Amino acid sequence: MRTALSPSAQNGPVDAERNACTAPQLRRFIKSRAYVPMHELRRRFAIEGGDDDVTGVDMGSGSHVYVGLPEREGRLLGELLRARDVGYELSLDPISPIVVGVFPMRPVPRA
């Protein structure tokens, strides 16, 4: 017996890639606000993933931070962090550098 698949089921991975955020989109969204908690990034860009998704980001000079995003989005945010386009707030609860929110580092020029 054949069953019809919905268009989203047929094109699942392709749609996910097409709807995936880019580094410029992340930067623009973060710079449009004073502070963005990590859960807001997940919600705004419909970033799917498990609660335990964590990406390690090498910040240079031997320091690492951990971002609660899947690997692709974590790498994009890591690029912004390393370039100092965005800053970050670390969680102080566990003794590990876990990013809980981000904020713009340079003012956005207004036209």
Q: pLDDT tens, 54-86?
A: 999 999 888 899 999 999 999 999 999 999 999
Report the number of distinct structural domains present in the chain.
1
Instruction: Decide if 5 is inside a domain.
Output: no
pLDDT score recorded for residue 19: 61
Cα separation, 8 vs 88, in Å, equals 35
Q: pLDDT tens, 13-27?
A: 445 555 678 999 999
Model pTM score: 0.71
* Contact between 69 and 51 (Cβ < 8 Å): no
Instruction: Decide if 75 is inside a domain.
Output: yes
Instruction: Decide if 76 is inside a domain.
Output: yes
> Above 90 in pLDDT, residue 92?
no
C-alpha angle with apex 76: 70 to 80, nearest 5 degrees? 135
Q: What is the domain extent for residue 48? A: 20-104
pLDDT score recorded for residue 3: 42
